[in-house]
Amino acid sequence: MSVAKILCCLLLTCHLSEGKKIKGERASVADPEQRAVLPVKEPYVSSSVFSLFSGGEDTCTLDPLQLHTLTSCGFNSSNPLIIITHGWSVDGMMESWVLRLATALKTNLVDVNVVITDWLSLAHQHYPIAVQSTRTVGKDITHLVQTLQEEYQYPPKKVHLIGYSLGAHISGFAGSYLEGSGKIGRITVGFEQTVKCAHERSVHLFIDSLLNKDKQSTAYRCSDNNAFVKGVCLDCRKNRCNTLGYDIKKVRTGTSKRLYLKTGPRMPYKLYHYQFRIQFINQMESIDPTLTIALTGTKEESGDVTITFNDEISGNTTFTFLITLDKDLGDLMLLKLHWEGSALWKNVWNRVQTIIPWGGQEAKPLLTMGKISVKAGETQERTSFCAMSNDGQHLEVSEDKVFVRCKEDLPKQRRRKHNL
Ligand SMILES: *[C@@H]1O[C@H](CO)[C@@H](O)[C@H](O)[C@H]1NC(C)=O
Ligand SMILES: *[C@@H]1O[C@H](CO)[C@@H](O)[C@H](O)[C@H]1NC(C)=O
């Protein structure tokens, strides 16, 4: 139990470390003057290996002491830097989501430097030891970012840290150590969902094999099919959902309730249900857009899914809809949206532009989005997505826009906060 508590503290740390001042952790952060002097006197020894990812299987190892490696690896200092950090490793291998995420970021954002933190030598230890190493790895990242700032005048604001499980703790530490020298751009963290499972890996694998043999589907109580396809019924509280098949829960209710689910065309029938909720703000012209959506999770990618709205979007509207996939994406990390404006709409837009000379290059059809969230029915987890850059939640016609898991999206931590 105490291990779990400590982890919660660490997770809180990484949640708070962006922007807001951290009180408890201050003592461990070197004061800015010391920091400026120390690295010059003694060369910093990093226990992590940083590689610049350039697509495919290609990575190029960076040596923070030999900055010319940056140039030869193709680091472009005009572009933002995303540092991805993996978590605990049972087998000494890099978790597969790291490369998948790096690839997704590189192909969708293009003008971006993607660096992968490899701390496998420390991550491949017993879990408690790996946990102890997270501060060290956090310092390694801090050192890299500071060196970039000192030698390249590369602003820490352009750095975005993405970490999952222990990688989230590391990103949090890196963010807190960097507080004095210039705030880091953004920290996106996935948090340890199954702390206990990490210890009891064999049990977890056993359960997993059972699940795969049997692939039990979940069905959800809903008033009618219309409501179900809008995705508003993925609620499991108060026995509103149940597993079908082998291990159905016996629930006594007075009246019979309708349960809904989507199934695949052949065995295994199980599909994973995802409810989308997208808020559109201040749409002046009513339009009926077609959106293409792609989700990247820690386990899988959804591929492109096309959604056509039946209702028009005008004023402020929140749309909900359901998509189903035959694979479990894992924890959701990235959402790509593409708006296919109709030809008709483009014509209307051209006409509007000539009447209203808003001018500038921004005179393009624009969808403005408010909150975007996705709830996975099977896990009951809701994930919110935020724009990566500061240009707001706008979507231009024919543009691919990538949203990442918002840093605020840590509901479990919040809940635990009250228990600390
Ligand atoms: C760096 O990226 C920018 C786009 O952000 C591009 O215009 C420029 O040519 C790149 N520089 C090099 C050396 O590749
Ligand atoms: C939409 O909501 C915004 C605030 O989020 C408000 O300022 C605006 O007036 C609303 N627009 C309409 C058409 O209701």
Mutation test of ligand 2: which of 281, 284, 368 has the most ligand atoms closer than 8 Å to its C-beta? 281
Minimum mean pLDDT range among 59-73, 237-251, 276-290: 237-251
CATH class of residue range 2-199 = alpha beta
Q: Which atom of ligand 1 is nearest to the CA of 77?
A: 1
Provide the pLDDT for residue 157: 86
Minimum mean pLDDT range among 54-68, 223-237, 254-268: 254-268
Would you kindly state where each structural domain of the chain is located, as residue ranges? Answer: 2-199, 216-269, 272-413
Residue 276 or residue 207, greater confidence: 276
367 burial level (CB within 10 Å; 0-12, 13-18, 19+):
buried
Residue 307 or residue 249, greater confidence: 307
pLDDT tens for 363-420 read 566 778 888 999 999 889 999 998 876 666 778 777 788 888 887 544 444 444 343 3
Ligand nearest to the CA of 158: 1
* Cα 1 versus chain centre, distance: 27
Q: Residue 122's closest CA among 161, 92, 95?
A: 92
Give rounded-to-5 percent helix, strand, coil for the chain.
35, 30, 40
Reported confidence tier of residue 253, pLDDT bands at 50, 70, 90: very low
Provide the pLDDT for residue 413: 44
Of the candidate CATH numbers 2.60.60.20, 3.40.50.720, 3.30.2020.30, 3.40.50.280, the domain formed by 272-413 belongs to 2.60.60.20
User: Quick count: other Cβ atoms within 10 Å of Cβ 4?
Assistant: 11
Residue 185 or residue 317, greater confidence: 317
Residue 107 or residue 122, greater confidence: 122
**Is pLDDT above 60 for 280?**
yes
52: Cα within 13 Å, side-chain hemisphere: 20
How far away, in angstroms, is 280 Cα from ligand 2 center? 10
Provide the pLDDT for residue 71: 83
β-sheet bridge partners, residue 60 = 52
Nearest CA to ligand 2 atom 7: 282
Minimum mean pLDDT range among 87-91, 191-195, 317-321: 191-195
Same fold yes or no, 2-199 and 272-413: no
Report residues whose beta carbon is within 6 angstroms of any ligand 1 atom.
76, 78-79, 111
Tallying the residues shown for the chain, one arrives at: 420
Q: What is the mean pLDDT of residues 336-361?
A: 58
DSSP at 296 = E
Provide the pLDDT for residue 49: 94
Nearest CA to ligand 1 atom 12: 76
Query: Can you tell me the distance from the alpha carbon of 195 to that of 7, in angstroms, rounded to the nearest whole number?
Result: 8
How far away, in angstroms, is 185 Cα from ligand 2 center? 29
Nearest CA to ligand 2 atom 13: 315
Most confidently modeled of 170-184, 214-228, 288-302, 339-353?
Answer: 288-302
- H-run or E-run covering 137: helix 134-152
Query: Can you tell me the distance from the alpha carbon of 161 to that of 167, in angstroms, rounded to the nearest whole number?
Result: 9
Provide the pLDDT for residue 286: 65
pLDDT tens for 6-46 read 222 222 222 223 322 333 333 333 344 444 444 455 778 88
pLDDT tens for 114-129 read 999 999 999 999 888 9
Report residues whose beta carbon is within 6 angstroms of any ligand 2 atom.
281-282, 315-316
Provide the pLDDT for residue 268: 59
**Is pLDDT above 70 for 110?**
yes
**Is pLDDT above 80 for 211?**
no
**Phi then psi dihedrals of residue 292, to 5 deg:** -110, 135
Look up tokens 């969708």; give the residue.
108
List Cα–Cα distances, 358 to 361, 365, 390, 411, in angstroms.
9, 12, 21, 41
Ligand nearest to the CA of 112: 1
Q: To the nearest whole number, what is the mean pLDDT of the chain?
A: 71
pLDDT tens for 284-343 read 666 667 889 999 998 899 999 988 777 777 778 888 899 999 888 988 989 999 887 665
Q: How much is the pTM?
A: 0.53
Query: Can you tell me the distance from the alpha carbon of 119 to that of 140, in angstroms, rounded to the nearest whole number?
Result: 10
pLDDT tens for 397-413 read 777 888 888 875 444 44
